[in-house]
Amino acid sequence: MTEPHKKQKIGLWTSTSLVVGNMIGAGVFLTPAAMASFGSVSLLGWAMAAIGSFFVAKVFSNLSKLLPRATGGPYAYSRHGLGDFAGFLIAWGYFIANACALAAIVVSFISAMSTFFPLLNQSPFAAVSIALITIWLLTYINSLGIVASGVMQLITTVLKLAPLILIAIVGLFYIKAKNFLPFNSSGVSLTSAISTTAAMAMFSFVGFESATVPAGDVENPGATVSKATMLGLFISTAVFILGSVSIMGIIPAKILAVSPTPYSDAADIIFGHGARYLVSAGMAVAAFGAINGWTLIQGQAPMATAKDKLLPPVFAWLNKNGVPWFGMVISSALVSCFISMNYTHGLVDKFRQLLLLAVLTTLVPYLFSVAAYPIIRAKEKRTTGWTAAVILAVVAFIYTLWEIAGSGEDAVYYGFVLMMMGIPFYVWLAYKKHHE
């Protein structure tokens, strides 16, 4: 283990780019295709996810002010409010969630690159090979330090927004009303369709808590993290909703449902053949940046957990650049396994599976953090604003529970099993700690 001489920190715009980069890169590529089979009712799912995410993000924004130097985000808040066991479960679940999210984003990166290299959409071996190279290249870049990865994040975020905003706004003028029909083609009730599509859309909003995770590496975290969280959420929401309306209005649902590159297909319709390459390049950059951002995040929560002696101390080891390298390596290995397994399905099918599992294993940490919010307020002896705080917590808690239900039985089952697998590990650590 090598300790850094001096730890550099990131500011508001880099923190905001971490939020925007992780959110936009997580869902902008294949989510319109994955939701197309439901019909235009999925737009209501987008709206519900956006509204609910605002309340949950506001809780995280407030928590970042209450505990400005709490590294680990959902883990730190859950442990501070609900105790060690809750904190451990959330650290474990969030670690799995990051791996699932990274795997899904890598799938979307391969999808964008398939525009230039069709073999990636035809050969599982080629797709897996490029995916693994990408994962480990960005693991190395992030090992160089948070400032290096932050600069990469800021650059890719700026580059990704231009083509996405272009398609989202210009596409509004190419919408055909008939493409929004039928309204509900899912074969289930309207309530069930909205619930499921809101859970799928929620994957696009996963990441608004990103600025809270490396709080210890942020300048003036009490103000910076709170601002970055809300600013990043607003920017990403505008891109998501405008883009989805344009894509669904331009491309017929039957074609959209099987498209591995919906934004590129829309660019062809708007600007003519050849524009898809520019948009696909922008989307590839966006995915690359999101993989970078989540790779940055993946070592932080395990590091904070290890410092609290709820994980082995190896997770808190820092390299000479101040990076918790062990957690990153373990997570990248897990992502590699997710990518390598069962890659016989199409890209859209694979994305949908990882999407729902990632949402579930992220929503549980959100739920615990929201539950911890009023407890932390009480511990910090806040005497004003309790009515608004309780209303915020209740609304955010109910919304998160609703999203968990909408993730589907399979996602809830597998997510529950993955989280429960951590309990024996916690018992062993508690026993070892007790007998030290």
2 confidence band (pLDDT: 50, 70, 90): very low
Which residues, at least 6 apart from 361, have a Cβ–Cβ distance to it below 8 Å?
A: 93, 94, 96, 97, 100, 415, 418, 419
Distance spanning both ends of the chain, measured CA to CA = 22
Per-residue pLDDT reduced to its tens digit, 264-316: 788 888 888 777 787 778 778 878 888 888 888 788 778 888 888 888 888 88
Q: How far apart are CA 251 and CA 286, in angstroms?
A: 22
Find, among 355, 25, 349, 43, the residue nearest to 180 by Cα. Answer: 43
Range of the domain at 206: 12-434
Whether 1 maps to a domain, the answer reads: no
Burial string for 29-43 (b: 16+ CB within 10 Å, else e) reads bbbbbbbbbbbbbbb
Check: pTM over 0.75? Answer yes or no: yes
The total of other beta-carbon atoms located within 10 Å of residue 414's CB is: 17
327 pLDDT more than 50:
yes
Whether 428 maps to a domain, the answer reads: yes
Q: How far apart are CA 26 and CA 204, in angstroms?
A: 6
Whether 383 maps to a domain, the answer reads: yes
- Residue 167 is predicted with a pLDDT of 85
Find, among 97, 95, 26, 73, the residue nearest to 210 by Cα. Answer: 73
Whether 318 maps to a domain, the answer reads: yes
Q: How far apart are CA 326 and CA 322, in angstroms?
A: 12
Q: Supply the CATH number for residue 90's domain.
A: 1.20.1740.10
Estimate the share of the chain in helix, then strand, then coil, as percent rounded to the nearest 5. 80, 0, 20
Whether 93 maps to a domain, the answer reads: yes
Find, among 167, 186, 177, 332, the residue nearest to 263 by Cα. Answer: 167
Question: Is 398 or 21 the better-scoring residue by pLDDT?
Answer: 398
Find, among 150, 106, 158, the residue nearest to 300 by Cα. Answer: 150
Q: How far apart are CA 406 and CA 187, in angstroms?
A: 16
Whether 2 maps to a domain, the answer reads: no
Find, among 2, 11, 8, 24, the residue nearest to 289 by Cα. Answer: 24
* Residue 143, SS3 per DSSP: coil
Burial string for 155-189 (b: 16+ CB within 10 Å, else e) reads ebbeebbebbebbbeebeeeeeeebbeeebbbeee
| E strand or H helix that includes residue 197 | helix 190-205
Q: How many domains does the chain have?
A: 1
104 confidence band (pLDDT: 50, 70, 90): confident
Find, among 51, 38, 429, 434, the residue nearest to 233 by Cα. Answer: 51
Whether 4 maps to a domain, the answer reads: no
- Residue 5 is predicted with a pLDDT of 43
Whether 77 maps to a domain, the answer reads: yes
- Residue 7 is predicted with a pLDDT of 55
Per-residue pLDDT reduced to its tens digit, 180-236: 888 888 778 888 888 888 877 877 787 788 888 777 778 888 788 889 999 989 998
